C-alpha cells in the first residue's frame, strides 16, 4: 500500500469523524476530490455529503460540480444535472467525463442521436491511451439503457483501443449471451481462455452457453473446469450441482454441495436444490432436515425470490409432523406459513389438523376461510389429494379426502370432484370395500361426462388401475366405454 493510499484512508477517517461530530475541518482540494471519487466508486451514502462539503470549501470547483451533476443524474433529477453541465461547459469541455455525463443525460431523456453526438465529442478530447476506459464506460451506459447495437460498437472500440484489457471482452461476451448470439460469445471466451486458461468467468459462461444450447456434456465439462479453479465460487457450485441434479447424477451433485458446505455456510439456493434432490431420492429424513434448515435461513434473513421455496418447505415440515402424529408441531408450522401466505392449501391443512384433534368447530371455521379464497387449480387439488394419500393410513385417508371435498362442493368445482371420487375409490379398495370403490369410480365417470377437459385423464386413471380387476363392478367399465366413445366422437367432430 502506497503513501497515497494511507493518506486517502486518513482523510476518509477525518471526514467521517467530522460528519459524525457535526463540525468543520479543512481539506486540500485534491484531498476532498479523492474522498468524493472513493465514495462514488463504492456507492456510499456519503457521496453527496462529500461533494457538498467540498463545494463549501471550493464553491467554484468545476470538478466538484461535475460530480454533483453525476449525482443528480443517478437520482433522475435531470433538470438540475442539465443546469450544472451548462454552467461548467467552458471549464470542463476538454474533460471526457463531462461529455460522458451528457451522454447519460440524453440517454435518460431517450434521445439516442444526441447521446451519440456527445459520445463523439468526448472521443475527440480523449488521449489515445485513455480511450479504452472511456469507450467501456459509454458501452456500459448504452447497455444499461438497452441500446444493444451502440453498446456492442463501443465495447468493440474499447477492445481495439486496448487489446490487453479483458473487461470489455467479458462485457461484450455477456451481451452476446443476452442477445442469444452464442457463437460470437463462445469465440470471445475461447480467445480469453487461450490467453488465460484459469479464467473462471470464461469457463463458467461457456458452461452457461452450452447449457442453453442443451449441450449437456460440454456444459458439465466447462462448469467442471470453473469448479476446479475456484471450488468456493457460489455461482459455479450451484450451476454445476443443479445440472448434475437435472441429469439425475444425484450422488455427484451431493458430493459437490457437501464439499462446499464443509467450509462455507449453506445458502438458501443450495438448500432448495437439496430439497429437490432428496424429494427425488425419497429420503424423508433429509428432506425434513433441509426444509427446516431453509425455514431457519429465510426466517432470519427473508428473501422474496425464495418465497415459493419457503412455502414448499413449510408444507414438507407440516406433512412430516402430521405423518409422525405430531399434530401440535404440524399446526405450529402451518400457522407460521399462514402469517406469510394466505393460501387455500394451508387453510385446508390447518382445518384437517383441527379435525384430527377432534376440534370440529375450528375445522369448520377454517374450511369456511378456505372457501373465501380463489378457487384452487386442478394441480393444487391433485397435490392435496396426493399429500393425503401419502401421509394418512387407510383408516383416516377417506375421511381426509371427504373433508377436502367440502371445499370443492361449496365452490361447485364439479370437474375437480371427479378426482375426489378416484382417490376415495383407491381408499375403499384398500379396505376391500369393492362396492363403495365401484360406486366412487362411477361417480368419477359421471363428473367426467360433464367436462371433456378432465375426461382423458379420468379415463387413463381408471383404465390403468382397474381394467381387468374381477371385483370391480362391470357397470364401471360399461360407463367408462361410454365416456371413451363420447370423447372419440367429440375429437372426430373437431
pLDDT in tens, 175-194: 999 999 999 999 999 999 99
pLDDT of res. 33: 94
pLDDT of res. 265: 87
Instruction: State how far the Cα of 334 lies from the Cα of 337, in Å rounded to an integer.
Output: 5
Is pLDDT above 50 for 134?
yes
Higher-confidence position of 443 and 488 = 443
Is pLDDT above 50 for 1?
no
pLDDT tens digits, one per residue of 162-176? 999 999 999 999 999
pLDDT of res. 128: 52
Q: Tell me the Cα Rg of the chain.
A: 33
Residue the block writes with cell 394418512: 392
Give Dmax (Cα) for the chain.
Answer: 99
* pLDDT band per the 50, 70, 90 thresholds, residue 97: confident
> How many residues does this entry show for the chain?
494
Contact assessment for residue 272 and residue 309, using Cβ atoms and an 8 Å cutoff: yes
* pLDDT band per the 50, 70, 90 thresholds, residue 95: confident
Asked whether the CA dihedral 151, 157, 160, 163 is positive or negative, the reply is negative
Contact assessment for residue 97 and residue 66, using Cβ atoms and an 8 Å cutoff: yes
pLDDT of res. 491: 54
Asked whether the CA dihedral 35, 40, 42, 48 is positive or negative, the reply is positive
pLDDT of res. 490: 66
Is pLDDT above 50 for 318?
yes
Instruction: State how far the Cα of 216 lies from the Cα of 260, in Å rounded to an integer.
Output: 23
CA dihedral 220, 225, 226, 229 (to 10 degrees): 150
Residue 58, sorted as left (phi over 0), alpha (psi -120 to 50) or beta, turns out to be: beta
* pLDDT band per the 50, 70, 90 thresholds, residue 100: confident
Contact assessment for residue 350 and residue 335, using Cβ atoms and an 8 Å cutoff: yes
User: For the ranges 76-80, 105-109, 394-398, which has the lowest average pLDDT?
Assistant: 394-398
Burial class from Cβ neighbours inside 10 Å (0-12, 13-18, 19+) for residue 378 reads middle
Amino acid at each position: 500500500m502506497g503513501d497515497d493510499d494511507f493518506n486517502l484512508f486518513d482523510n476518509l477517517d477525518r471526514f467521517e469523524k467530522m460528519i459524525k461530530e457535526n463540525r468543520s475541518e479543512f481539506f486540500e482540494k485534491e484531498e476532498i476530490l479523492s474522498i468524493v471519487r472513493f465514495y462514488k466508486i463504492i456507492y456510499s451514502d456519503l457521496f453527496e455529503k462529500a461533494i457538498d462539503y467540498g463545494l463549501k470549501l471550493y464553491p467554484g470547483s468545476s470538478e466538484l460540480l461535475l460530480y454533483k451533476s453525476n449525482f443528480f443524474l443517478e437520482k433522475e433529477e435531470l433538470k438540475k444535472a442539465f443546469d450544472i453541465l451548462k454552467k461548467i461547459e467552458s471549464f470542463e469541455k476538454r474533460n471526457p467525463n463531462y461529455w460522458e455525463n451528457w451522454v447519460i443525460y440524453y440517454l435518460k431523456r431517450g434521445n439516442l442521436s444526441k447521446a451519440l453526438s456527445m459520445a463523439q465529442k468526448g472521443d475527440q478530447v480523449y488521449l489515445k491511451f485513455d480511450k479504452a476506459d472511456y469507450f467501456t464506460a459509454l458501452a456500459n451506459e448504452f447497455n444499461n439503457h438497452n441500446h444493444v447495437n451502440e453498446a456492442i460498437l463501443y465495447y468493440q472500440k474499447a477492445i481495439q483501443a486496448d487489446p490487453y484489457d479483458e473487461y470489455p471482452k467479458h462485457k461484450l461476451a455477456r451481451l452476446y449471451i443476452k442477445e442469444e448470439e452464442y457463437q460470437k460469445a463462445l469465440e470471445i471466451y475461447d480467445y480469453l481462455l487461450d490467453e488465460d486458461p484459469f479464467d473462471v468467468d470464461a469457463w463458467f459462461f461457456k458452461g452457461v452457453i452450452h447449457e442453453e444450447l442443451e449441450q449437456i456434456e460440454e456444459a458439465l465439462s466447462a462448469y467442471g473446469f470453473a469448479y476446479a479453479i475456484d471450488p468456493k465460487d457460489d455461482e459455479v457450485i450451484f450451476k454445476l450441482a443443479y445440472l448434475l441434479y437435472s441429469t439425475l447424477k444425484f450422488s455427484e451433485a451431493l458430493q459437490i454441495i457437501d464439499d462446499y458446505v464443509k467450509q462455507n455456510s449453506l445458502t438458501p439456493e443450495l438448500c432448495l436444490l437439496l430439497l429437490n434432490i432428496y424429494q427425488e431420492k425419497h429420503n424423508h429424513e433429509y428432506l425434513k432436515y433441509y426444509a427446516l434448515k431453509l425455514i431457519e435461513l429465510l426466517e432470519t434473513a427473508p428473501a422474496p425470490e425464495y418465497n415459493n421455496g419457503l412455502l414448499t418447505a413449510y408444507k414438507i415440515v407440516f406433512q412430516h409432523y402430521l405423518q409422525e402424529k405430531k399434530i401440535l408441531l404440524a399446526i405450529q408450522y402451518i400457522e407460521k406459513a399462514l402469517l406469510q401466505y394466505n393460501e387455500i392449501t394451508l387453510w385446508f391443512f390447518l382445518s384437517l389438523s383441527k379435525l384430527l384433534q377432534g376440534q370440529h368447530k375450528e375445522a369448520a371455521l377454517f374450511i369456511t376461510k378456505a372457501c373465501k379464497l380463489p378457487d384452487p387449480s386442478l394441480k393444487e387439488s391433485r397435490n392435496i389429494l396426493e399429500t393425503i394419500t401419502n401421509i394418512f393410513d387407510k383408516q383416516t385417508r377417506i375421511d381426509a379426502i371427504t373433508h377436502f371435498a367440502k371445499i370443492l362442493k361449496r365452490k361447485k368445482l364439479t370437474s375437480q370432484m371427479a378426482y375426489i371420487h378416484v382417490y376415495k375409490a383407491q381408499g375403499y379398495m384398500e379396505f376391500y370395500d369393492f362396492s363403495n370403490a365401484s360406486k366412487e369410480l362411477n361417480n368419477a365417470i359421471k363428473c367426467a361426462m360433464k367436462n371433456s377437459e378432465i375426461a382423458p385423464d379420468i379415463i387413463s386413471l381408471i383404465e390403468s388401475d382397474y381394467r381387468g380387476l374381477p371385483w370391480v363392478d362391470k357397470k364401471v367399465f360399461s360407463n367408462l366405454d361410454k365416456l371413451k366413445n363420447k370423447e372419440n366422437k367429440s375429437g372426430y367432430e373437431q
